[in-house]
Amino acid sequence: MSKPAGPTSHDVVAVVRRLAATKRVGHGGTLDPFATGVLPLFLGRATRLAEYHLGDRKAYRATVCFGAASTTDDLDGELTPVPGPAPTREAMEAGLAGFRGAISQLPPAFSAIKVEGRRAYAIARGGETPELRARDVTIDRIDLVDWDGSDADRPIAVLDVACSAGTYIRAIARDLGRALGNAAYLGALVRVASGAFRLEDAVSLEVIRAAVADGPAGLAALLLPPDAGLERLPRILLTEDEVAAVARGQFIRPTAGLPPAGSTDGRTIAVDGAGRIVAVVAVRDGRLAPDKVLVEVPATIQSDAPLDGTRLIDLAAAFAAELDAAGSVDPDPASPDEP
């Protein structure tokens, strides 16, 4: 979905839980309250696949404001103007070279990283300085796309950034200001891509609310297949008997053979005859072992009747199976609390 400015990522998850009447909703990477853009949401059994998106690379449109430092490294913190000349556009463009490729980055003090069991932001709010370790991240691309120098003391740069998961764009703004002999903070942030998910394909909360008014079918029409965004993983076709075995958690020797060794991180998407995901599987001891199973054992198999592939749970049925009459909110979303 396309997250609006204002709510936290957790707030958005809570809203979608209420709208979808299911507790099982998670997201694919935190966006700060002021940030907007792509927030992948996973509903029902698809939450089991969220972990395979944690390493997805991200792309952002970032607005960096020079001339002041922020306690949170963004516009939500307390701003302190700094003396001295602000950088020029030419200095800015030259300075970006030091932020491309593999870099070491110190996370913001106001971040969700845990320090001895406590969130860094909780320590910072208590007036202490959390002891954070620098982390290695990769900046695939960082380019200046706009420059506003109308206020020579407080110029504004707009950057396009593509980076590895776990990169703090706030920290890039902070460090860029320091590298140019000034100070800077993040004034606005739009996530334009998260893995295979793009902003132009995202839907707003208003669209989701309107779809829910049409019932489960309306919301199901907005959902992507559970394995969307996992195109990097190879697929293996299972027979009807193999689907039933995987649904029961059994290891199998698939008729289609095993995926090539070293072709991926060890995971493969198993699909049925209709191309629908059955499970994420891994090779163990010469067999396919179910890792995450997304289908139920068909009742026909439980009663020893022949398996009809059309009876496997499809997307709409899977959504309906996750409905909660109470519509209560789980306070602990199945989501990473990291960028």
Q: CA 286, 289, 292: angle at the middle one, nearest 5?
A: 155
Instruction: Report the C-alpha gap between 185 and 7 in whole angstroms.
Output: 20
Considering the domain boundaries, does residue 127 fall inside one?
A: yes
Reported as a single tens digit per residue, the pLDDT across 286-309 is 899 999 999 988 665 444 433 333
Structure tokens of 112? 């969700």
Is the separation of the CB atoms in 22 and 55 below 8 Å?
A: no
Query: Residue 288: what residue type?
Result: L
Query: Which pLDDT score is estimated for 158?
Result: 98
Is pLDDT at 332 greater than 60 in this prediction? no
In a domain, 65, yes or no: yes
Give the CATH number, domain containing residue 98: 3.30.2350.10
Residues 68, 111 within the same domain: yes
Percent of the chain past pLDDT 70, that is, above it, reads: 86
Q: Into how many domains does the chain fold?
A: 2
97 & 150 share domain: yes
Model-level pTM?
0.83
Judged against a pLDDT cut of 60, whether residue 116 lies above it is answered with: yes
Residue 329: per-residue pLDDT = 29
Q: Rounded to an integer, what distance in angstroms lies between the CA atom of residue 245 and that of residue 281?
A: 12
pLDDT classification of 264: cutoffs 50, 70, 90: low
Q: Does 167 lie in the same domain as 235?
A: no
Least trusted range by pLDDT, from 43-52, 77-86, 270-279, 330-339: 330-339
Average pLDDT, the chain: 86
* 227-258 burial code (b ≥16 CB/10 A, e <16): bbbbeebeebebbbebbbbbbeeeebebeeee
Q: Is residue 16 part of a domain?
A: no
Q: Give which of 104, 152, 153 is closest to 132, Cα–Cα.
A: 104
Across 105-114, 157-166, 174-183, 224-233, least confident range: 105-114
Which of 87-101, 215-229, 256-270 is predicted with the least confidence, judged by mean pLDDT?
A: 256-270
Given strand 287-293, what is the order of strands in its sheet? 235-237, 267-271, 277-284, 287-293
Rounded mean pLDDT, 37-48 = 94
**23 located within any domain:** no
User: Does residue 237 share a domain with residue 133?
Assistant: no
Residue in the block written with tokens 């009663």: 303
> Do both 61 and 170 map to the same domain?
yes
Tell me, yes or no, whether 334 lies in a domain: no
The verdict on 61 and 190 lying in the same domain is yes
Residue-level pLDDT at 71: 93
Q: What percent of the chain has pLDDT over 90?
A: 68
Task: Over range 250-259, report the average pLDDT.
Answer: 91
Which of 48-62, 179-193, 308-322 is least confident? 308-322
The reply to whether 144 and 254 lie within a common domain is no
Are 230 and 269 spatial neighbours (Cβ–Cβ below 8 Å)? yes
Q: Could you give the CA distance from residue 296 to residue 318 in angstroms, rounded to a whole number?
A: 10
- Clarify whether residues 187 and 261 are in a common domain: no
276-295 average pLDDT score: 93
Instruction: Round to whole Å and give the CA distance between 260 and 89.
Output: 50
Q: Which domain holds residue 123?
A: 57-194
Asked if the model's pLDDT at residue 323 lies above 70, the reply is: no
Is the same domain home to 159 and 276? no
Q: What is the mean pLDDT of residues 196-203?
A: 96
Range name among 6-15, 160-169, 202-211, 261-270 with the lowest pLDDT average: 261-270
According to DSSP, residue 243 is labeled H
Does residue 257 share a domain with residue 161? no
Q: Which of 151-165, 268-282, 317-331 has the lowest average pLDDT?
A: 317-331
Same domain, 162 and 73: yes
Query: What average pLDDT does this structure show over 242-248?
Result: 95
The answer to whether 237 and 273 are in contact (CB under 8 A) is: yes
| Residue 289 falls inside a structural domain | yes
Model pLDDT, residue 59: 98
pLDDT, average across residues 64-74: 96
In a domain, 272, yes or no: yes
Choice among 16-25, 213-222, 258-267 with the minimum mean pLDDT: 258-267
d(CA 16, CA 215): 14
Q: Which residues are catalytic?
A: 32
Q: What is the DSSP string of 282-330?
A: EEETTEEEEEEE-SPPPHHHHTTPPP-GGGS--HHHHHHHT--SS----
Whether 328 has a pLDDT exceeding 50, the answer reads no
Question: Could you tell me if 114 and 184 lie in one domain?
Answer: yes
CATH code of the domain covering residue 297:
2.30.130.10
Q: Is 49 among the domain residues?
A: no
